[in-house]
Amino acid sequence: MIKGFIFDFGGVIVRTEDYSPRHAWDERLGLPIGSVERAVHHSDLWVQAQLGRVTYDAYWQGVAELLYMHNDQDNIAELRKDYFKGDRLNYKLVNLIRELREDGYPVVLLSNESPELTERLHELNIYDLFDQVLISALIGVMKPDATAYRVALRALNVAPHEAIFVDDSLANIRGAQALGIQTLLFRGEVDFRAEFAKHLKKDDDNQPTDAEES
């Protein structure tokens, strides 16, 4: 019986749909397309930021060094602002989560992110969309480490098989499955309303009828 939901943030609640602001910085810095994104989100420095081992300012200073920007604080601030301009909130999923909450299902956010995600959630006006917000830098562990999922399950107060976890990373999905959590891999074409309905319908089908109870 499904009793709670766990959602990822980046790539699920918010998705990058327009890469032109990032590519514009590649061109501006005279670097190959994709260099800025690799420096920001595909370096060991980003892993350290997600684990809370470096401050967000120190992290961006490191990104600037990877991009040969040195100590140009004005440009660094501009890059930090521009980098997320192509991100879009997934309103359909946000509305669905609101419906789940209204129906009495607890929902937590479990994200590999820096502490600054809290501020971003408030800016997007969705912090209160979740019963709890669990950020790797604040809990000290990242998906797909089993401990991250256990923290989320405790927050929901449910057993693994009673939760559904949604993420766009196959590695994170497999990490949850190893604990017995039900999962849905996020893809743009997936109808999550229909997928959730299948799970919840199965729960209803497993409930005893009046005749069976008597």
Cα 65 to Cα 72: distance, rounded to the nearest angstrom: 10
DSSP one-letter code for 209: P
DSSP one-letter code for 109: E
DSSP string covering 43-92, please?
SHHHHHHHTTSS-HHHHHHHHHHHTT-TT-HHHHHHHHHHHTTTEEE-HH
In this structure, the strands spanning 107-111 and 87-89 are unpaired
**77-95 pLDDT, tens per residue?**
999 999 999 999 999 999 9
Cα 72 to Cα 93: distance, rounded to the nearest angstrom: 38
Specify whether the CB–CB gap between 214 and 195 falls below 8 A: no
C-alpha of 161 from chain center: 21
pLDDT at residue number 212: 41
The SS3 call for residue 10 is strand
pTM over 0.85: yes
DSSP one-letter code for 187: -
Contacts of 25 (CB under 8 A, 6+ apart): 36, 79, 82, 83
Q: Which residues of the chain have pLDDT under 70?
A: 201-214
Query: Positive or negative, the Cα torsion across 151, 154, 158, 159?
Result: positive
**Per-residue CA distances from 38 to 45, 139, 142, 146, 171 (Å):** 11, 25, 19, 26, 19
Looking at the DSSP bridge assignments, the partners of residue 7 are: 109, 166
| Tokens 């019986």 sit on residue | 1
pLDDT at residue number 205: 55
Q: Which domains are seen in the chain, by residue range?
A: 4-14+88-213 (3.40.50.1000), 18-83 (1.10.150)
pLDDT at residue number 202: 58
Q: At 188, give phi and psi (nearest 5°).
A: -55, -30
In this structure, the strands spanning 87-89 and 14-16 are antiparallel
Quote the tokens at residue 60.
Answer: 């961006």
pLDDT at residue number 198: 82
pLDDT at residue number 195: 84
